[in-house]
Amino acid sequence: MNVVNNSPRRRELIRVAAQLFVQEGFDRTTVRMLAQEMGIKSGSLFHHFRDKQEILCAVIEEGTHNALSIAHEALAQCDGGAEARLHAMARAHLETLLTDRNAHVVALYEWRRLDEASRDHLGHLRDAYEQLWQEVIGDALEAGLIRGDKFLVSRFVLGALNWTVRWYDPAGAYSPDALASELIGMLGAPAATPA
């Protein structure tokens, strides 16, 4: 009936779906609502996606994929200093949380509605992202920038960052860059570290 293609139309539909999933939640979003927002009829939806589940999976995949590539890019454009790398990661995380906000909110709040196969597939993507964080945090620990257990610190930091979707207003006083600095300032050993 349909294909698992990667057409620009599909991209557009995924964006629309992400917004609706955030507004209403996955379960409350009906295929009819999705279709209406996309400007088609509900039957036509199943030309683009096998079923409703696949839409959810596509939304989350896109968001996580973007987060990963933005993080890699941020690290690549960054000199070797552990503090600079840590800052770049935090800033990249906050920026993708803004630009792909809908997709990330869906990933955070609708993860459990994925079926087992999708959860497994997307889990690997997410693990890759978290491992990147653990490397950067591990380096910061070795450099004496912060203190604690590598895994614990990674989880605390990711928790603090992901929680920002609940309260962060990009029109407010803090830019993603400034917010990243505030977070690292809160964590770090004092600015002047002994030689």
Partner DNA sequence: CATTTACACTAGCGCTTGCTTGGTTAGCCT
Partner DNA sequence: AGGCTAACCAAGCAAGCGCTAGTGTAAATG
Select the span of 30-38, 99-107, 136-144, 181-189 touching DNA (CB under 7 A). 30-38
Which residues, including other chains, have CB under 8 Å from residue 49's CB and lie 6 or more apart?
Answer: 2, 13, 55, 58
HSE-CB at 44 with a 13 A cutoff on CA atoms is 12
| Count of positions on this chain that bind its own copies (CB under 8 A) | 33
Shortest distance (Å) from residue 140 CB to DNA: 44
| Residue 85: burial class (beta carbons within 10 Å; 0-12, 13-18, 19+) | buried
Q: Which stretch binds DNA (CB under 7 A): 45-53, 132-140, 155-163, 168-176?
A: 45-53
Per-residue tokens: 49: 């996606």
Any residues with CB less than 8 A from the CB of 162 and at least 6 apart, and which?
97, 108
44 near DNA (CB under 7 A): yes
Instruction: Establish if 127 lies at the interface with its own copies (CB under 8 A).
Output: no
Nearer to DNA, 21 or 133 (CB): 21
Residues that bind DNA (CB under 7 A): 1, 3, 5, 7, 9, 29-33, 35, 39-44, 46-48, 51-53
